[in-house]
Amino acid sequence: MAEKTYLQAISDGLRQEMRRDKRVFVIGEDVGVYGGAFKVTLGFQEEFGPWRVIDAPLSETAIVSGCTGAAIMGMRPVAEMQFADFISCAWDSLVTVAAKQRYRAGTPVPIVVRLPSGGGFSGGPFHSQNPESSFAHIPGLKIVCPATPEDAKGLLVTAIEDPNPVLYFEHKHLYRRLKAEVPEERYTTPFGKARVHREGDDVSVITWGAMVHTADEAAQHLEADGISIEILDLRTLVPWDKQAVLESVAKTSKALVLHEDTHTGGFGGEIAATIAEEAFEQLDAPLRRITAPDTPVPFSPPLEKAFIPQVEDVAAGIRELAEY
Amino acid sequence: MAIAREAEPVGSLQEVKEAGLDREDLLAVYRGMLITRGIEERGHILYKQGKIPGSFYTGRGNEAAAVGVATAMDSVDVGTPLHRDMGVHVTRGVEPWRIFAQYMGRSDGPTKGKDGNVHMADSRLGLLAMVSHLPAMLPVAVGCALAFRIREEKRVAVGWFGEGASARGDTHEAMNLAGVRKLPVVFVCDNNQWAYSTPTHLEYATEHVADRAEAYGFEGVVVDGSDVLAVYREARRAIEKARGGGGPTLLECLTLRMEGHAVHDDAFYVPKDMFERWAANDPIERFRTWLREHAELTDEQEDEISAGVKRLLNEALQRADESPLPDPSTLTDGVFATPEDLDTPHHK
């Protein structure tokens, strides 16, 4: 098995699907000649031609709604937002049209929207957001947030196969930072099945995306102090693996929910409420949430560092829980 | 100053034949317009009887525009009709009883009670269900055309919008992408001159909505939306041009919305003489007169067609009324599609 970056894994998965299924095409801003702002589709236009790797005008609504129309006509479109932040311009396309079409009109909309998301490199308020929670609130959309190269490929293949609109949040900070073995052959990673990133007995950390790795670093620091941490990587928020969360909490009796998105209305609140409703009697400490504060994502490095949950913040939170 | 081409009315039967319609087709168009109006007139009665939950919208005055365009479409073509375009559903073959069932929120309506009024479509007939956010379906129609272009199929997508919705950004994004990629799509503007209570001069500053087409790199045409034959001829030209690789057309059908925005609205803001002028231009009466003058429509045939439409709608009403209301247990069904749902004519 070859080692691949997170970005290469996404690129490989997409290329493989385009080779095996002529219905799959890519559309987005600068995805063709330029290969995408982050080079995920580098070389795609040479291989698949300009009508399967489509350079779109700067029109997020037309891109996502165009995918919706094409999908209803039997294609399997994969749209790229240059940055996840720009999905706000296609809110109606996703929320009003694509998400509700199956329920009210019986028409499936099998589209994938790739969303380079997350901060950590001074992208500022408009190139750093993690808007997954906003969309998790909308019935009819599936939400995917891979944390590893292997999952990045497997979840993308599943997303393309899925008969629903899927928002695929790829964390920009993981693109080239993360390298791991990724199978060459085609495989799917199921939605709604959490992955135990690290096994442990004292505290459960429930998280997804880049925060899986922040939690892992914190766990490594705390291991020396004899604190055993279980990290659950949800992989997908819609559907989310409630069973795995409840099982982990039943084992450790202490839960910390961690996300890079802002606090109020963040998906962590949903997980916390579910634990309170269904595992209250198994808890030995009040549940903790560590998230970004309720502010836009700031630009300047010290401000951004204070915004994104850091290893030391997570370690402190876990330690408090362990000592409770 | 107008930039779009202003279409001439259609004159003789010969001219109509050249445009692709024989006498049988013409009678079918007439019948389709009668069914369209009949469905909406009976809808008013159902509403007054308290049988229609929510509000009720009609397209009175738009029958010729809707039926004319839909008649110009081939069976392989697709479209995204709106709430003034009942005639499109009728022409494509949606059975009237299912439309009444939809109005009344019954389980046999195309949306099984999940959505109301004209928010419906039968995908097997090449139609996509509208949403309230206008013109959100316009870029979806462009996406259908994109699929046809990628697969090199000789099919055309027709996207409808109103002059009010022409003010929104989706209109621009849809037309710009279609123009840039020369996609097989026809944009049909139902310009009924009133977006709820807002007149045209507060929605756009050009003479015609169709004048904008020039800026997107394709042709704009304005047609009298009360003249079903002129609408048909212009729609046919535009659709065949798109099918042949000639790119989009913006076809603006000028009409007057002869009722309020919805049933609760008495349209007090529309000048009376405007209603009177357009009432004299009623699309059904106008076509009936033309058929008598140019296609030998007799009293006998007219009565036969009217009686057939009346019978159809009476039976439809009865059948719809027998359709049960949806079971509350179906509330959470179908939020997500399953792989089996993809087994449709389009997805195969």
Cβ contact, residue pair A103, B139, below 8 Å: no
Cβ contact, residue pair A108, B341, below 8 Å: yes
Q: Is B1 exposed, middle or buried (0-12, 13-18, 19+ CB in 10 A)?
A: exposed
* Best residue in B177, B185, B330, B344 for a mutation probing chain A (most A CBs within 10 Å): B177
Whether residue A140 sits in one domain with residue A222: no
Count the Cβ atoms, other than its own, within 10 Å of residue B347. 19
Whether residue A220 sits in one domain with residue A158: no
Whether residue A216 sits in one domain with residue A156: no
Residue from the list A92, A139, A164 with its beta carbon closest to the beta carbon of B133: A92
Whether residue A66 sits in one domain with residue A168: yes
Do A78 and A14 contact (CB within 8 A), yes or no? Answer: yes
Judged by a CB distance cut-off of 8 A, whether residue B143 touches chain A is yes
Looking at beta carbons, which residues of chain A come within 8 Å of B111?
104-106
For the four alpha carbons of B230, B81, B36 and B60, in that order, the dihedral sign comes to negative
For residue B284, the Cα-to-chain-centroid distance in whole angstroms is 15
Asked, for residue A250, whether it belongs to a domain, the answer is: yes
Whether residue A251 sits in one domain with residue A162: no
Asked, for residue A146, whether it belongs to a domain, the answer is: yes
Do B10 and B287 contact (CB within 8 A), yes or no? Answer: no
**Dihedral, B266, B268, B274, B278 alpha carbons, nearest 10:** 0
Residue from the list A71, A96, A105 with its beta carbon closest to the beta carbon of B111: A105
pLDDT at A115: 98
Whether residue A139 sits in one domain with residue A249: no
Judged by a CB distance cut-off of 8 A, whether residue A59 touches chain B is yes
In order of their start, the domains of chain B are: 5-267+295-322 (3.40.50.970)
Cβ contact, residue pair A106, B115, below 8 Å: no
pLDDT at B172: 98
Residue B344 pLDDT greater than 70, yes or no: no
Q: B 78-107 residues with CB below 8 A of A?
A: 78
Q: Which parts of chain A have pLDDT scores under 50?
A: none
Chain A residue at shortest CA distance from B118: A105
Cα A180 to Cα B209: distance, rounded to the nearest angstrom? 56
Q: Catalytic residues of A, which ones?
A: 127
Cβ contact, residue pair B180, A71, below 8 Å: no
For the four alpha carbons of B102, B105, B110 and B116, in that order, the dihedral sign comes to positive
Cβ contact, residue pair B342, A108, below 8 Å: yes
Residue B19 pLDDT greater than 90, yes or no: no
Do A160 and A24 contact (CB within 8 A), yes or no? Answer: yes
Cα A165 to Cα A68: distance, rounded to the nearest angstrom? 9
Query: In chain A, how many domains are there?
Result: 2
* Closest listed residue to residue A167, CA positions, set A265, A84, A260, A76: A84
Residue B147 pLDDT greater than 50, yes or no: yes
Q: How far is CA B98 from CA B104, B117, B322, in A?
A: 10, 11, 11
- Nearest-Cα distance to chain A for B9, in Å, is 34
Cβ contact, residue pair A97, B150, below 8 Å: no
- Nearest-Cα distance to chain B for A88, in Å, is 14
State mean pLDDT over B87-107.
97
Show which of A140, A158, A182 is a domain's final residue.
A182
Asked, for residue A11, whether it belongs to a domain, the answer is: yes
Do A178 and A118 contact (CB within 8 A), yes or no? Answer: no
- Run of H or E residues at B188: strand B185-191
Q: A87-102 b/e with 16+ CB inside 10 Å = b?
A: bebbbbbbbbbbbbbb
Cβ contact, residue pair A61, B128, below 8 Å: no
* Closest listed residue to residue B67, CA positions, set B16, B120, B30: B30
A139 sits in the region (left: phi over 0; alpha: psi -120 to 50; else beta) called: beta
Asked, for residue A189, whether it belongs to a domain, the answer is: no
Instruction: Give me the count of residues in chain B.
Output: 348
The DSSP code sequence of B162-184 is ETTGGGSHHHHHHHHHHHHHT-S
Whether residue A178 sits in one domain with residue A199: no
Whether residue A199 sits in one domain with residue A172: no
Looking at beta carbons, which residues of chain B come within 8 Å of A136?
none
Instruction: Read off the tokens for B156.
Output: 């055309």
Asked, for residue A24, whether it belongs to a domain, the answer is: yes
Q: What is the CATH number of the domain that holds A226?
A: 3.40.50.920
Asked, for residue A92, whether it belongs to a domain, the answer is: yes
Asked, for residue A118, whether it belongs to a domain, the answer is: yes
- Run of H or E residues at A182: strand A179-182
Cβ contact, residue pair A163, B337, below 8 Å: yes
Is cis: bond before A239, omega within 30 of 0? yes
Q: What is the pTM for the complete model shown?
A: 0.97
Q: Which domain holds residue A204?
A: 195-323
Judged by a CB distance cut-off of 8 A, whether residue B141 touches chain A is yes
Amino acid at B112: K
Order of all β-strands in the sheet with B185-191: B5-6, B219-224, B249-254, B185-191, B157-162, B78-80
Cβ contact, residue pair A105, B115, below 8 Å: yes
Show which of A141, A159, A182 is a domain's final residue.
A182
Whether residue A52 sits in one domain with residue A168: yes
Show which of A160, A182, A204 is a domain's final residue.
A182
**Dihedral, B48, B51, B55, B56 alpha carbons, nearest 10:** -70
Looking at beta carbons, which residues of chain A come within 8 Å of B113?
none
Q: How far is CA A111 from CA A80, A89, A142, B148, B302, in A?
A: 11, 17, 10, 17, 49
Residue from the list B133, B141, B348 with its beta carbon closest to the beta carbon of A96: B133
Whether residue A165 sits in one domain with residue A28: yes
- Of all residues in chain B, the percent with pLDDT exceeding 70 is 98
Is cis: bond before A301, omega within 30 of 0? no
Cα A283 to Cα A249: distance, rounded to the nearest angstrom? 7
Q: Which residues are CB-contacts of B176 (< 8 A; sequence separation ≥ 6)?
A: A57, A59, A62, B216
State mean pLDDT over B193-197.
97
Judged by a CB distance cut-off of 8 A, whether residue A102 touches chain B is yes
Q: Rounded to the nearest 5 degrees, what angle is found at the Cα of A25, between the Cα atoms of A23 and A27? A: 150
Whether residue A160 sits in one domain with residue A199: no
A166 sits in the region (left: phi over 0; alpha: psi -120 to 50; else beta) called: beta
Judged by a CB distance cut-off of 8 A, whether residue B311 touches chain A is no
Whether residue A6 sits in one domain with residue A125: yes
Amino acid at B251: L
Do B263 and B55 contact (CB within 8 A), yes or no? Answer: yes
Phi, psi of A167, deg, nearest 5: -95, 120
Q: Is B264 exposed, middle or buried (0-12, 13-18, 19+ CB in 10 A)?
A: exposed
Asked, for residue A61, whether it belongs to a domain, the answer is: yes
Judged by a CB distance cut-off of 8 A, whether residue A280 touches chain B is no
State mean pLDDT over B8-14.
84
Phi, psi of B196, deg, nearest 5: 55, -110
Cα B49 to Cα B43: distance, rounded to the nearest angstrom? 10
- Run of H or E residues at B185: strand B185-191
Task: Tell me the pLDDT tens digit for each residue of B266-289.
Answer: 999 999 999 999 999 999 999 999
pLDDT at B348: 46
Do B208 and B222 contact (CB within 8 A), yes or no? Answer: yes
